[in-house]
Amino acid sequence: MNPIPPPPHVVADIVERALAEDLGRAGDLTSASVVPASARGEAVIVTRGGGTVAGLDIAAAVFTTVDSAIVVDAVACDGDRVAPGARLATVTGPLRGILTAERSALNLLGHLSGIATAVAEAVERIAGTGARLVDTRKTTPGMRALEKYAVRCGGGSNHRFGLDDAVMVKDNHIAAVGSITTAVAAARAAVGHLVAVEVEVDRLDQLEEAIMAGADVVLLDNMTSDELHLAVAAAGGRCVLEASGGITLENARAVAETGVDVISMGWITHSAPNLDVALEVEVRSPSPA
């Protein structure tokens, strides 16, 4: 697996904001007062639980932003599955900077690895069905690019990144204009030929209208497995079918086996538990006499 990383400017912006939040107006009072400026050493980042790794380069960027003299050597790669106690990276350099960066780096690494771990388990549950697992826009404000990267690290794929890269006609849009046909026609008239149009339906009797209106994708919202089977048969391959709503690890395979093309899950980004990671100082230079 070689997931495409987020752009450097996106990472830099999030790292700067994370550090600004943690360092506040006075900086790291503890490390600055307790750890001599000359102290150097080596620490290791380890997992306390097993899972799938995501965000090692992002964590490294936190350390090097705090102090460019810090060197981070990863011994794992994003997308790797690791056991509890696995070493992920060594961090070498000024100990004051290492300790200042520790929490922000681990927060990002643990959060992103937690998402990747949840995604990897979900992908495994639906393996062999032909369905693809994707995320949603239910992400932490300001963190979407990184969280969607973590989804890729776990073996999932990304839905739209924002409101500006695809048309998705939802129930409230339909209510606002009166019909699926009207909404899709308006969208087709307004956007370019490369922009996909997706329509959300929550009743089987809406499916044919969405297809005939020209939807590229139809999202089948909160439908039962029986309803999904009927939708797949009715669509007959005329559009991409996405199942969403109420999908868990326990029922994901049953949903995938209905024949839908895509399964979207919001909880993989908004509710995935963190992977427990820690930093342990192993070697330090002698304190000055």
Q: Is 144 a catalytic residue?
A: no
Q: Is 200 a catalytic residue?
A: yes
189 phi and psi, to 5 degrees? -75, -20
Which amino acid type is present at position 82? Answer: V
User: DSSP 3-state assignment of 130?
Assistant: coil
- Which among 103, 160, 188, 253 is annotated as catalytic? 103
What's the pLDDT score for residue 285?
74
Burial of 186 (0-12, 13-18, 19+ CB in 10 A): middle
Closest CA to 107 of 159, 55, 70: 55
User: DSSP 3-state assignment of 86?
Assistant: coil
Q: Is 80 a catalytic residue?
A: no
What's the pLDDT score for residue 13?
98
pLDDT along the chain (289 residues), means of 10: 91 98 97 96 97 98 98 98 98 98 98 98 98 98 97 98 97 97 98 97 97 98 97 98 97 98 98 98 70
- Which among 81, 160, 170, 253 is annotated as catalytic? 170
What's the pLDDT score for residue 287?
54
Which domains, ranges and CATH numbers included, belong to the chain? Answer: 8-123+273-284 (3.90.1170.20), 128-270 (3.20.20.70)
- Which among 42, 80, 198, 200 is annotated as catalytic? 200
pLDDT tens for residues 58-99? 999 999 999 999 999 999 999 999 999 999 999 999 999 999
Q: Are strands 262-264 and 132-134 parallel, antiparallel or unpaired?
A: parallel
Q: Is 148 a catalytic residue?
A: no
What's the pLDDT score for residue 289?
45
Q: Is 103 a catalytic residue?
A: yes
Whether 187 and 169 have beta carbons less than 8 Å apart is answered as yes
